[in-house]
């Protein structure tokens, strides 16, 4: 699958753009703040119905503009064509359309156009709270398993109800038990899906990291969940007294986490910036491989400012990976055109370059 053409109007700082892309490698360069990342975010938006950088659409349209519109023309792996368009209006009105038909629910679109984004913000996966790592798991599984998306949404809605009840002045045990019973099957499904996914990702991450680092270090990934020890309803029974004191749900999927290690030590504390960046790239490449195999479509790979913090050898190893392992369509951004020109020599593929300046995009 690849994005053949995109049309943008007042999307962030891009006032007007109509661009035809290479089905293989697309280099986007320009100074910081010019709009390189916004172009990649537009590609991401058409796949995931939201920005990679914000859960809210408040900052999607250009300053002062009443509306942002996006339209993408795709060639699918089976040879069919898809037109996807979106409109985001100031005030919250938003539509997504496949061909001439509007989606009733945006979740119906997820998985049609798989995408993998690599961004400097991904450092949060290593350095921040477990919520970011749970989002990583949710993102992968939501693209590959429509039932997973339904289960995690249902679990989270019931969790909100349960926490609201625990915060009320009078807690009715029978109602609390009913909510807990309804949460249990959703929790079981999500826990098993996450556990299985981590088992599949672990060797892929290790393999990609070894190729990026030339085997200089060994990494590992482990999944940790409260449900590893006992079912959800048993957890709630065990935590009942603590919940009455704290007034919120103290156990469950919302505490799941991933543990990252390098040479047996915590990656967050013992990994250098280059090692952490290499690990994040390995995670995203593993994600790409998993989504491609599970969705039956080749995801678009968006690499935003990936060369920062990497030595030249790891940069060359990364470019060798993405150019030889049938990664499909790739977008690469960098503020340094000379560096892009240098690394492009190692890619034997259809390469096109685009210059971005103050939101204006021109092909070269």
Strands (E), the chain: 2-11, 14-20, 25-29, 67-75, 81-89, 94-98, 101-102, 115-118, 219-224, 257-262, 265-266, 300-304, 330-334, 351-357, 360-363
Q: Return the closest-CA partner of residue 40 out of 277, 329, 290, 312.
A: 329
User: Quick one: pLDDT at residue 346?
Assistant: 59
Q: Is the pLDDT of residue 113 over 80?
A: yes
Q: What would the pLDDT profile of 292-327 be if each residue is shown by its tens digit?
A: 888 888 899 999 988 776 777 777 788 777 766 677
Angle, in degrees to the nearest 10, between helices 273-295 and 312-324: 10
pTM for the model = 0.88
Q: Return the closest-CA partner of residue 276 out of 193, 216, 219.
A: 219
What DSSP letter does each residue of 331-364 carry, written as one string? EEEES-HHHHHHHHTT--S-EEEEEEETTEEEE-
Q: What would the pLDDT profile of 80-99 be if each residue is shown by its tens digit?
A: 999 999 999 988 799 999 99
Q: Is the pLDDT of residue 119 over 70?
A: yes
User: Quick one: pLDDT at residue 348?
Assistant: 59
Q: What structural domains does the chain harbor?
A: 1-114+298-364 (3.40.50.300), 126-296 (1.20.1050.90)
* CB-CB contact of 5 with 352 (8 Å): no
Q: Return the closest-CA partner of residue 28 out of 15, 13, 38.
A: 38
Q: What would the pLDDT profile of 234-267 be if each residue is shown by its tens digit?
A: 999 999 999 989 999 999 999 999 999 999 999 9
């Amino acid at each position: 699958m690849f994005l053949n053409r995109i049309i943008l109007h007042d999307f962030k700082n891009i006032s007007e753009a109509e661009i035809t892309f290479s089905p293989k490698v697309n280099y986007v360069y320009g100074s910081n703040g010019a709009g390189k990342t916004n172009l990649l975010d537009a590609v991401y938006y058409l796949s995931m119905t939201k920005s990679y950088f914000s859960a809210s659409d408040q900052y999607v349209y250009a300053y002062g503009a009443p509306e942002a519109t996006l339209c993408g023309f795709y060639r699918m792996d089976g040879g069919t064509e898809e037109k996807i368009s979106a409109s985001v209006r100031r005030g919250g009105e938003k539509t997504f359309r496949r061909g001439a038909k509007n989606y009733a629910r945006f979740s119906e679109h997820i998985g049609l156009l798989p995408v993998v984004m690599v961004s400097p913000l991904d450092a949060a996966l290593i350095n921040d709270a477990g919520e970011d790592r749970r989002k990583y798991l949710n993102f992968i599984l939501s693209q590959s398993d429509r039932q997973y998306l339904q289960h995690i949404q249902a679990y989270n809605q019931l969790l909100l109800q349960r926490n609201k009840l625990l915060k009320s002045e009078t807690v009715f045990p029978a109602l609390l038990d009913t909510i807990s019973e309804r949460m249990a099957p959703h929790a079981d499904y999500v826990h098993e899906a996450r556990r299985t996914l981590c088992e599949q990702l672990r060797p892929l991450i290790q393999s990609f990291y070894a190729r990026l680092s030339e085997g200089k270090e060994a990494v590992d990934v482990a999944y940790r969940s409260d449900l590893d020890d006992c079912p959800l309803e048993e957890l709630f029974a065990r935590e009942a007294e603590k919940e009455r004191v704290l007034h919120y749900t103290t156990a469950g999927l919302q505490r799941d986490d991933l543990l990252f290690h390098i040479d047996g030590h915590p990656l967050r504390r013992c990994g250098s910036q280059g090692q952490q960046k290499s690990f994040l790239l390995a995670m995203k490449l593993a994600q790409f491989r998993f989504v491609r195999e599970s969705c039956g479509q080749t995801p678009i790979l968006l690499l935003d400012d990936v060369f920062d913090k990497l030595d030249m050898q790891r940069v060359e190893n990364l470019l060798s990976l993405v150019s030889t392992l049938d990664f499909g369509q790739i977008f690469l951004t960098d503020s340094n055109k000379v560096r892009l020109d240098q690394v492009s020599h190692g890619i034997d593929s259809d390469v096109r370059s685009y210059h971005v300046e103050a939101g204006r995009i021109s092909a070269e």
